[in-house]
Structure formats: structure tokens, C-alpha cells
Amino acid sequence: MENKTAVITLSALAQESRLSIFRTLVQVGPDGMAAGKISETTGIPPSSLSFHLKEMTYANLVNSRQESRYIYYSANFKVMNELLGFLTENCCAGVPCGIESHCCDEKA
Amino acid sequence: MENKTAVITLSALAQESRLSIFRTLVQVGPDGMAAGKISETTGIPPSSLSFHLKEMTYANLVNSRQESRYIYYSANFKVMNELLGFLTENCCAGVPCGIESHCCDEKA
DNA sequence: TCCATATTTCAAGAATAATTGAAATGAAGA
DNA sequence: TCTTCATTTCAATTATTCTTGAAATATGGA
């Protein structure tokens, strides 16, 4: 993952409406939720929701599929896991540090 | 972690300058780096850097300590790990889903 | 105290992002 | 085809964030 990609992914999460949408989709699981229902659940008006879903789609944070007249959106965790890897990359220049609450804990 | 706290943390990372700063601090390890050196390394002018470091401090993403005339900044991973936990919280309403590239992988 | 220098604050402008009603688009059943 | 309704696009406004030089502040050595 590149720096710019990571910024796009993070920006897609760093907004109250979008974070609510994302968490709603995480909790509902892989089948996802129709746009209208997301609007209802989160209280975000359809046009605002559409704007945010577009951003999240661009960031590859959500997947969508059409089913009859509904469009179901679901969370994409692959990208989020990649993001975490990117953030901790080359921690302490690769030398395990063993300090509590620091990234290298996980490798130590 | 609360929704608003998470947005603050994510916003602190979702910006090119700040992401560069953070990654620089991750790679340099727990001793951190003096502000002037960060400015030099990243090419961000001192006043811009100060603005961003303040945001990151507010988000609790970096720690700082004074040493002589220098102020050393270092990355705080505890908060980042909390953030990941928050994002995957109650995934699939707690029911392991076993789907590839989905959050419940980690628990399954 | 006085100086050198590391860092922060200030202020104003520039850039980017969010909001939402109304109109347009698209899909599927009658 | 016509109608219905779920979703998206448009457009204009509003809000927020970023940027940076210059000035202020803070630290420690001389």
C-alpha cells in the first residue's frame, strides 16, 4: 500500500457519517444492507449517504451488489488489514523493541 | 473507544503530511525524533509541522518529551491498536462468519 | 543577563470537504 | 410501455482544514 492510498482509506473512515456507516456494515456482516436501510438506520439523508458511499467505494472500503431494485453495501476488511500493516511497517527500523504499548510487541 | 474519539484518531492519520510524520516516528522507534529533525526529514516547514504535531498530540497518537532545547516526538501505538479493535467491534453481530478477507477470520 | 536557536503561535488566504433539496437515472413489475 | 420507487447526480452553499511567513516564546549556555 502506498502513502496516498493509505490517506484515501483513512479519509474514508475519518468522518462521523462514514464511520457510522462503516460500523453499521461491519456489524450487519457480509450480506450487507440496502442503501435505503442504511439511510434509515443512521439517519443520514439519501443524497448525503450516496455521497459518502461513493467515497467509501472509491477507497475500496465497501463492496456493493445489486439485488432487485436495491443496492446492498457491505464492509471490506481486506483493505483495513492492509492499512494496519502499512502503518506499522518497518517499525523501529525492524529491530524488536519490546516496549509495552509499542508496535514491536506483536513481533516480540 | 467512542465514535468521536475514533474520528479524531483517524483524522489525525488521514492527511499526507501527518501520515508521513507518523510513519517516520514509527520507523525511528520509541526514542522519537526532535521536531527540527522531523521537519528536515519530511520537508514540512516548522510552522506547518507544529500545526500537525499539535493535532496528533490531541489525538494521542504521539508522545513528546523535552530534552535540552529539543522536543522529541514519538509514536503511540496503544491508541492505534484500540482503534482497530473499535473498527471490528461486534463484527457480524458477534457470529463468526469464516469468510475470506472478512473481520471474523481472526476469531475463527 | 544576554544571545543563539528550537519550537510554537498568529493571522489570513487558499484549498478541500460536507450538506441537502430537487431533478435525473435506472430497474422491475403490471 | 407505463408506473413505481430506490438510488444517484447536480449545484450552490456552508463549513472545515491546510499552509506558511513573521512574530513570539522558551530553553540553556556563555
Q: Is the CB of A4 under 7 A from strand C?
A: no
Residue-averaged pLDDT of chain B: 89
What are A34-56's pLDDT values in tens digits?
999 999 999 999 999 999 999 99
- HSE at residue A37, side-chain half, CA atoms within 13 A, is 12
Neighbours of B105 (CB within 10 A): 16
In this prediction, residue B98 carries a pLDDT of: 63
- B64 is in which domain, residue-wise? 3-106
Neighbours of B76 (CB within 10 A): 20
Q: Taking CB atoms and an 8 Å cutoff, what residues of chain A touch B24? A: none
- d(CA A20, CA A17) in angstroms, rounded, equals 5
Cell 489525538 appears where?
Answer: B59
Find the CATH number of the domain harbouring B60: 1.10.10.10
- d(CA A22, CA B74) in angstroms, rounded, equals 30
User: Which residues of chain B carry a pLDDT beneath 70?
Assistant: 98-108
Question: Into how many domains does chain A fold?
Answer: 1
Strand D nucleotides in reach of protein CB atoms, 7 A cut-off: 5-11, 17-23, 26-29
20-79 in B: which are within 8 Å (CB) of A?
A: 20, 22-23, 26-30, 75-78
In contact, A30 and A74? CB cutoff 8 Å: yes
| Beta bridge partner(s), residue B75 | B62
